Amino acid sequence: MRLRSSGPSPFGRKIKIAARHLGLMDRIEVIATSTEDPADPVRSDNPLGKIPVLILDDGRTVYDSRVILETLDHMAGGDAIIPKDWDARLAALTLQALADGIMDASILVIYEARMRPAELHHEPWVERQRDKIRRGLAALQATPPDLGKLNVGTITTACALGYLDFRKQVDWRKDYPGLIGWLDAFRAKTGAYDETTPH
């Protein structure tokens, strides 16, 4: 299989962590992808031109990251990172949605600075994105995710915190110190976290 992604992408990182955890990484070739390059083949694999995209052995393409994680869970026999029990599944998927939302808002903060001319930057809009990040972090700190079993929610939460460490959209370590110990515990339990740290 082939995974189109980029090193800094937190959405690609969650796939790589899950694949390592599930013992599937040796079946996946990671292909560096630029969503900003109109000639990059990602547009033929995903009409939206977004990463990550997983190209299966039979040629089918799978996107976005949530569907790819579902695919990897299925390949691993199910109930591996997406629980079968309904209550546990609902909790994991909802946590994933919260952490995905933090990452979405974080990327929009970066794109505003990178893609728009300085004279068109709209600080109130950027602050709204930061508010989403802060509210998400506050919710996580109030109820830290259970690390009893690695799942799509905890993987995505770790990737969201890692992306904030990498790009510094907000100073989460100062403002939400209760999450520092949680991430340290995730790292200690999940070697793939450090193996996938962007540089």
**Contacts of 121 by beta carbon, 8 Å cutoff, 6+ apart:** 112, 113
- Cβ-contact 56, 1 below 8 angstroms: yes
Rounded distance between C-alpha atoms, residue 113 and residue 105, angstroms: 13
Number of structural domains found in the chain: 2
User: What is the tens place of the pLDDT at every residue in 150-184?
Assistant: 999 999 999 999 999 999 999 999 999 999 999 99
Please give the torsion angle defined by the CA atoms of residues 82, 91, 136 and 53, in that order, rounded to the nearest 10 degrees: 20
Residue 155 counted as domain residue: yes
Are residue 102 and residue 184 in the same domain, yes or no? yes
| pTM for the predicted model, two decimal places | 0.96
Q: What pLDDT sits at residue 174?
A: 98
Question: Which of 75, 108, 132 is the endpoint of a domain?
Answer: 75
**Domain final residue, candidates 56, 75, 94:** 75
The domain of 133 spans: 86-195
Task: Measure the N-to-C terminal CA separation of the chain; round to a whole number of Å.
Answer: 24
- Give the pLDDT confidence of 6-44 residue by residue, as tens digits: 999 999 999 999 999 999 999 999 999 999 899 999 999
CATH number at residue 105: 1.20.1050.10
Work out whether strand 61-62 and strand 53-55 pair parallel, antiparallel, or are unpaired.
antiparallel
pLDDT above 90: residue 60: yes
Both 111 and 172 in a single domain?
yes
